[in-house]
């Protein structure tokens, strides 16, 4: 058996496996865990694939199992509160959800969980009280029962388990990957033109809002968080009204960009494809949730980037998001490429070098290096990774 990331081409097969799993659960005394809500929904699986957190287990070329896997610090909100016990360790951990197999090969669940353990050394999972199969399997693999947690899907408690392989954690901590982390706006593409039109279209729907966004104004706020953009462009609005308008703008912008894309910088796709052969590539942006996936989808760039993060998803500033992404991907050696002084500060806060994309929107004060075109980046990176 082998594990790989799932793709949209796997979608129908994945949903077929979940249908089998729901029937298997019902036949073995566990009809509530997934059966009541017909879990998992299709849009969640599409999201797993888009976020590169969905995986499939294959045997002789056929998909026989599937699961969700992620790793990081406090990545699962439902695990923050645990009753009748406590977690073994508060360090960064991996999590497996939605694990299912088609029953055609013995040991699919065991194989998938052991694979996940090898990726991070510290893994948490939960299961329903009626899922006796998982409750039997997890202790055999070395998982310890820690207590009960609650999920948002229903009111049924989940039994929480954890396993820690200290030796593996230490080993992973020594892994060195040459990582290049990118900003998006002003670094990989220029979406200011479409942003200007979209923002004004939303503002026009609010008759009491007289401000209109020019191309120059749009470019001046590129790279800032949506909250910062709102404070700059809509200073007279109350917080509640501003938040409502920004939410409209954010959703409309993502819908448009996912379908139409934006202006790519000359040589971007070719440069990224080349760098992908030698470096681990990532994106950290101050954008709203969904914005980076829209870029990846519109321009078929998903296969080049290992992981992404957005302030709209975490609520954290860019420096903290860079550290978060580095921690969950075990990155020890990285540079950040961006086009503004804010990007420069984020790299400094994260403790990594900053390469200034001088062709973008903003300025930098004292970058570690600068490029006038993204096509110059491969040669520039040689200075940082010997």
pLDDT digits (tens, 9 = 90+) for 276-302: 888 889 999 988 889 999 999 999 999
Domains and CATH numbers, the chain: 2-172 (3.40.630.30), 175-386 (3.40.50.1000)
**H/E segment holding residue 94:** strand 93-101
Residues 296, 50 contacting (CB under 8 angstroms): yes
- pLDDT one-digit tens code per residue, 169-186: 555 453 446 899 999 999
Backbone phi, psi, residue 85, to 5°? 160, -165
> Does position 74 have pLDDT exceeding 80, yes or no?
no
- The confidence score (pLDDT) of residue 184 equals 96
Whole-angstrom distance, CA of residue 239 vs CA of residue 236: 9
Mean pLDDT confidence for 362-377 = 95
CA nearest to 149, candidates 99, 84, 93, 90: 84
- The confidence score (pLDDT) of residue 176 equals 43
**Residue 340, CA distances (Å) to 85, 130, 327, 377 in order:** 46, 53, 24, 17
- pLDDT one-digit tens code per residue, 217-228: 666 777 677 777
Helix, strand, or coil (residue 175)? coil
CA nearest to 345, candidates 327, 366, 359: 366
- The confidence score (pLDDT) of residue 167 equals 59
pTM: predicted TM-score of the whole model, two decimal places: 0.53
- pLDDT one-digit tens code per residue, 86-117: 888 877 888 999 999 988 989 999 999 999 88
- The confidence score (pLDDT) of residue 211 equals 72
> Does position 168 have pLDDT exceeding 70, yes or no?
no
- The confidence score (pLDDT) of residue 174 equals 36
Whole-angstrom distance, CA of residue 51 vs CA of residue 227: 24
Mean pLDDT confidence for 203-225 = 72
Q: What is the mean pLDDT of the chain?
A: 86
Strand pairing class (280-285; 54-59):
unpaired
- The confidence score (pLDDT) of residue 66 equals 95
């Amino acid at each position: 058996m082998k594990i790989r990331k799932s793709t949209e081409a796997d979608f129908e097969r994945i949903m077929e496996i979940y249908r089998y799993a729901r029937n298997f659960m019902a036949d073995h005394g566990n009809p509530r865990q997934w059966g009541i809500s017909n879990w998992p929904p299709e849009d969640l699986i599409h999201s797993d694939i888009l976020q590169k957190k969905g995986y499939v287990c294959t045997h002789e070329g056929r998909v026989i199992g599937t699961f969700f896997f992620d790793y990081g610090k406090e990545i699962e909100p439902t695990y923050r509160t645990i009753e009748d016990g406590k977690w073994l360790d508060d360090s960064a951990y991996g999590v497996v959800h939605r694990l299912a197999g088609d029953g055609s090969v013995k040991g699919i669940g065991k194989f998938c969980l052991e694979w996940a353990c090898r990726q991070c050394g510290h893994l948490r999972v939960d299961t329903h009280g009626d899922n006796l199969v998982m409750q039997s399997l997890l202790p055999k693999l070395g998982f310890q029962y820690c207590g009960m947690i609650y999920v948002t899907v229903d009111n049924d408690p989940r039994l929480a388990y954890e396993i820690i392989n200290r030796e593996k954690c230490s080993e992973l901590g020594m892994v060195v990957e040459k990582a290049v982390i990118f900003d998006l706006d002003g670094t990989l593409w220029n979406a200011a033109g479409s942003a200007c039109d979209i923002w004004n279209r939303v503002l026009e729907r609010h008759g009491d809002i007289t401000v209109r966004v020019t191309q120059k104004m749009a470019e001046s706020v590129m790279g800032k968080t949506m909250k910062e953009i709102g404070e700059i462009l809509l200073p007279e609005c109350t917080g509640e009204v501003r938040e409502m308008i920004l939410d409209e703008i954010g959703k409309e912008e993502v819908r448009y960009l996912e379908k139409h894309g934006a202006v790519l910088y000359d040589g971007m796709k070719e440069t990224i494809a080349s760098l992908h052969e030698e470096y681990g590539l990532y994106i950290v942006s101050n954008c709203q949730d969904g914005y980076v996936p829209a870029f990846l989808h519109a321009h078929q760039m998903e296969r080049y980037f290992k992981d992404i993060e957005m302030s709209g998803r975490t609520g954290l500033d860019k420096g903290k998001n860079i550290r978060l992404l580095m921690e969950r991907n075990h990155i020890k050696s990285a540079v950040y490429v961006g086009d503004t002084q804010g990007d420069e500060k984020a790299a400094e806060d994260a403790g990594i070098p900053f390469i200034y994309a001088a062709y973008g929107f903003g300025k930098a004060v004292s970058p570690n290096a600068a490029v006038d075109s993204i096509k110059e980046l491969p040669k520039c990176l040689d200075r940082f990774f010997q």
